[in-house]
Amino acid sequence: MSGDILIAPSILAADFARLGEEVAAIDAAGADWIHCDVMDGHFVPNISFGADVIKAIRPMTNKVFDVHLMIAPTDAYLEAFAKAGADLITVHAEAGPHLDRSLQAIRSLGRKAGVSLCPSTPEATIEYVLDRIDLVLVMTVNPGFGGQSFIGSQIEKIERIRTMIGERPIRLEVDGGVTRDNAAAVAAAGADTLVAGSAVFRGRGAAEYAANIAAIRAAAEAGRVPHLQNSSAQRMRVSDGGLSPVGYRRPSAPWRHLEL
């Protein structure tokens, strides 16, 4: 598993009339990343904001800008988001026919690359691009709107993707309906990066946001303990028969460790 639990508040739930202030507030409140949900009204049934808004709020924080593109097509817009200040750009596996090409394009722009899966998309979709990505994002709601309820069936998918990742330096992110009440289950399944919108932006200002972030983080850390214990036990059981430490049969390509 990757490093510490990261909390990435989604600014989709922020007060857009005070967006710059809201970004500064969640920075002060302990957010690890800033999650930017970009929607086009075509791939998903809503329009949020684009590269110009990301460029405008970029000076408000030095935290990682985790830009989630819920748009189709994607490739024509990747450079604009990279120039706007995105540190990590995630595209949907469902958004175009050439996922491998899109991921290569992101890397060529000097940005880290992620791939997202809608709830109905099987994890096998990413099997042959695992060595091109820095992050997998599992949608636990149908993308398009904030404030939806968590889809519990995705827990099993998170577990399977964690097994697929093995020892690769890939973060496993979950987005959709994440709260302090389900953060433990999400982390126990193997997620290490939690996106939360409404659950963070309850209240007003950095102090209340900090309490919300701390509660989600504490729940996730508590849920993660048994997962780490189980992972250690599983590694001890693996023989030298060519399996990765978590039993996934596809060998990992050489990687330099990528820290996010």
pLDDT tens sequence across 34-92:
999 999 999 999 999 999 999 999 999 999 999 999 999 999 999 999 999 999 999 99
Find, among 173, 160, 159, the residue nearest to 112 by Cα. 173
Residue 205 has pLDDT above 80, yes or no: yes
Q: What is the pLDDT of residue 62?
A: 98
Categorize the per-residue pLDDT at 253 as very low, low, confident or very high, splitting at 50, 70 and 90. Answer: very low
Residue 121 has pLDDT above 90, yes or no: yes
Residues 6+ away with beta carbon under 8 Å from 212: 29, 180, 196, 199, 200, 201, 202, 203
- Mean model confidence pLDDT for the chain: 88
Residue range 204-211: mean pLDDT, rounded: 95
Find, among 17, 129, 38, the residue nearest to 80 by Cα. 38
Q: Which amino acid is at 15?
A: D
Residue range 221-247: mean pLDDT, rounded: 50
Catalytic residues: 37, 175
Residue range 106-133: mean pLDDT, rounded: 97
Q: What is the pLDDT of residue 145?
A: 73
Q: What is the pTM of this model?
A: 0.86
Residue range 106-123: mean pLDDT, rounded: 98
Q: What is the pLDDT of residue 238?
A: 33
Categorize the per-residue pLDDT at 226 as very low, low, confident or very high, splitting at 50, 70 and 90. Answer: low
Cα Dmax for the chain: 58
Q: What is the pLDDT of residue 175?
A: 96
Q: How many Å apart are CA 253 and CA 260, to the nearest integer?
A: 19
Q: What is the pLDDT of residue 228?
A: 53
Q: What is the pLDDT of residue 37?
A: 97
Residue 251 has pLDDT above 60, yes or no: no
Q: How many Å apart are CA 112 and CA 138, to the nearest integer?
A: 17
Q: What proportion of the chain, given as a percentage, has pLDDT over 70?
A: 85
Q: How many Å apart are CA 118 and CA 245, to the nearest integer?
A: 27
Categorize the per-residue pLDDT at 260 as very low, low, confident or very high, splitting at 50, 70 and 90. Answer: low
More confident residue, 142 or 2: 142
